[in-house]
Amino acid sequence: MDRRLLILSSVAILAAGQAFAQPPPPPPPPPAATDKASTYDEDEIIHRASDFMGVTAETAGGVIEKTFKDQGRPTAYIAGEEGSAAFIAGVRYGKGLLYMKGRPAMPVYWQGPSVGFDAGGNGSRVFVLCYNLQYPDAVFRRFPGVDGSAYFIGGLGVNYQRADDITLAPIRAGVGFRLGANVGYLSYSRHRNIIPF
């Protein structure tokens, strides 16, 4: 009887030792990111844009209504300021804060060259509507676009920039003297860059 008990306990100890010696199974893979970023409705954007840009809700509403009709509801927006100058070739520099629902505001800088039939300079408050931007870091890339400007003391305009499936719609309320059209790109970054390329 003691012999059987000794054999059974030895087998149990060996089995337990092998179980502990095996590495644990790998953790399950993280769930797929199927949650899409929350969107802003038209009234929210009109209110925030008019407050930030210092224009009436009616003035901001006309431009924003067109972008909502063209692009739908944005997932984020950038509120900032920029300066630009051009004589055939031009440069643009800006900085602002990126806002997304459920996330803290994040600083964003942008800069870029342009070329075209364009002359003058202007300073602008910029309110950028961001479409299909699911994560804040996805904005850090180059966005090509075509821009047309007609400022004489003041003005309000919008253009579109696209990269992959992300579309940005900068709405500018500018002061200065600027007339023309150009093509170029804006490179969005985490830090200010002096060189616009």
Domain 42-189 indexed as CATH 3.30.930.10: no
Q: Give the model's confidence band at 166: pLDDT under 50 very low, under 70 low, under 90 confident, else very high.
A: very high
> What is the dihedral sign for C-alpha 46, 50, 55, 57?
positive
Give the residue from 119, 113, 50, 52 showing the smallest Cα distance to 81: 52
The model's pTM is 0.74
Condensed to tens digits (0 to 9), the pLDDT of residues 86-136 reads: 777 888 899 999 999 999 999 999 998 888 776 677 788 999 999 999 999
Q: Which residues contact 173 (CB under 8 A, 6 or more apart)?
A: 53, 54, 55, 124, 125, 127, 154, 155, 156
Q: Do residues 105 and 99 lie in contact, with contact meaning Cβ atoms separated by under 8 Å?
A: yes
Domain regions of the chain by residue span: 42-189
